[in-house]
Structure 1
Amino acid sequence: MEAVAGQVAWSASPWRGGESRDWKAESLANLGSSRWCKGPGAGAIRPELREAAPAREAALLGGPHHLSPASADMLLLKKQTEDISSIYDIRGRLGSGAFSEVLLAQERGSAHLVALKCIPKKALRGKEALVENEIAVLRRISHPNIVALEDVHESPSHLYLAMELVTGGELFDRIMERGSYTEKDASHLVGQVLGAVSYLHSLGIVHRDLKPENLLYATPFEDSKIMVSDFGLSKIQAGNMLGTACGTPGYVAPELLEQKPYGKAVDVWALGVISYILLCGYPPFYDESDPELFSQILRASYEFDSPFWDDISESAKDFIRHLLERDPQKRFTCQQALQHLWISGDTAFDRDILGSVSEQIQKNFARTHWKRAFNATSFLRHIRKLGQSPEGERASEQGMARHSHSGLRAGQTLKW
């Protein structure tokens, strides 16, 4: 089984505005991801330029990808250029990370637009082999629900990744703009993401940072498909990549917090968190106290709070329980999740839940503290000093207060 262990790096990315970047424990510098995929709705989108993906040849993300010399030469091909402006007309800036900038670029001689990720070579010193491994993996990926790498260019000073430009916006924004939203809509969304992640897993790739911000709509149209983004280069750390795991605290699985070897099951856990949010508008794990947030995750302590879950089907709740299973050996795989009746059958309710869900999204995700940078190593030291096991139930009443929604059952108003 694939496994990655070691230091933990959290991704902090505000839902609205700001930068999105990965933060390494001990504050080491890294190569940040960026919100480059949220582009303008204008411009021609060329048919996908994706190479065929040979099955199961890519190794676990974060380790060496074993390719034949011929395959490696093809997959790592970088087009040389003295000046990127001879290939693309730069139309604007889409975002930036710690050591990269993402530009809206138009291919000269055509109307084709791309998201051009520009990485200074000086930021890659000592990590060249890791970068090439990740480019090889990105070139092998070919799935309709995954943002594609279209081309790679190299100048004397920069590496340029021309990524498929998606223009439909982020998941939460689109839900808020809908006229209606049902459990069936949520089931359809989750099914698309499951299909994409199952494909990645079949290649031995673990995304490791699934969250709503990384789920983007391909077009502004109502029938647009959902796309998975932000994996690959965004996970190359300054240091040993095998010893670093990327993620966002509210979405990480218990085994990652415990710094145990982990694999594909961490993506399934994150999909459980996303599914939960899509049905109620707030996260299953939340606390203003960093240690308590981690404690909730380590205990898989969450509830289907009334009244927010009163109109949600038992099938949906059963589906989420299988994804938010604390034991990764018992947790559903993507294939098992795809076969659950809430995804494959007709058990999802069709009543409109937009009002409740959109209200909670506004309350719970308009602020960035839910996605702050955390240090899991510090937390583990903290609970050991208290004499607690990570799975333990001990804590003070003040420290063990669940997220704000539990207060609603006592008749209190939810205020953030």
Structure 2
Amino acid sequence: MMRKLIIFIFCATFLLSCKKIGNPELHSIDLKIITSYASTELGKKLSLHTIQVKILNVNTNVEKELLTDASGNVSFDGISPGVYDISATIKIPAATYTALTGEITDKDVIFNASNKNKTISLNDASVSLKLISGNIGSWLIKQIYYAGSNTTTGAGFRDQFIEIYNNTDSIMYADSLYFAEITGRQSYTNASYYTLPNGQLDWSKSVNMPTNIDANNNYIYPKALFMLPGSGRQYPVQPGASIVIAQTAVNHKAPFTGTDGKTITVRDPSLTIDLSGADFEAYYAPFLPRPLASDIDNPSVPNLIVLAYNGTDMLFDNPGRTAYIVFKGDGITEVKNYPVYNYPTISVPSSTSDKFYQIPNAIVIDAVEIQPNTASARVPKKLGASLDAGYTFAPNGQYSSQSVIRKTDKMENGRRILKDTNNSTEDFDYFSLAAPRGFK
């Protein structure tokens, strides 16, 4: 009896001490999200009611969604401490937006805000989000096959491609359309750069960066930059059609001869794809001292104009630590004459260090952020909410044969209109096997 009493007293004392100490795991948080419009003027005219707010626990993958009250506020009660992706979005019908603001538009206007990889602890009572509108693209990035296929039985990285879609009801011309892969900090731990609170590079600290511009919020910096050829009306793209841009425009399912004269083949053709029908391809051999043997030139497929490159071919980052943009020049300054800047390294860069074009956000037509498939591998976000409030990824990661594919929003007179909310988390799905010109 005495032994049972001692055990009871010990257990009661232990539980009481835990309560006094305040074990964080036993506590929950009431998190208030406060939304507002980044533009003060629009904030006076537009409603904050029923803004869709989502929080995603990146470790448990549990997502919760609520709508704001008339003041733009919402509370997520009883959530666990942890790391969260927080986003907010509202779609304002074109007629409503015109009536409220006086700005004439025939398209719905979407405002987004996000705070990714935000650590929420017991000391965090609220998070503020500023809503920003982005362009609703005429050209859309439809599919990105960055993961590649198995390195032993598939084609490795050779079969990568990007697909760009005409989301309008009119013929558009792909001539002089640009696309780029964006650079940035690839981890939260590398301490050799000047960084922002979100972990991304602080480009304002780059050598010779002008002080009278917002280098971080109004510009982006590509590590690879390409332009499609053409005389102006040489490459028409029909409404609801797309262009496929291949790293190498061959049938990767079948053997082909590399530039070294050796046969390149795959053990399992079902893991890869046929890109012989691509519209454009990258060809680096003319300006590399040691080009890849797999970088052959398909004479029936036009080559991209390469303004900046990273690596030995149009190699997309297989883990998915990058972002992609599509844009047209502004008609004032040639893109090749845009200024270039070094990484904002804490140590002074050498004269031979890489420099990167500075592209204005204002001319970007569409942008898609890619992140690794596991939360622990995620990197600082490269695109702001005005370009992409979210991100997408291939669920099985690198060399999985998977691609990310934009969802179909609706059909209109037989034409597919793809989803475009400037939030890739909402806009994209995936293919288990990449499918050029396929739809989801």
Structure with the higher strand share, 1 or 2: 2
Flag the structure with larger Rg.
Answer: 2
Pick the TM interval, shorter chain: under 0.3
Q: TM-score, normalized by length of structure 1?
A: 0.26
Structure with the higher helix share, 1 or 2: 1
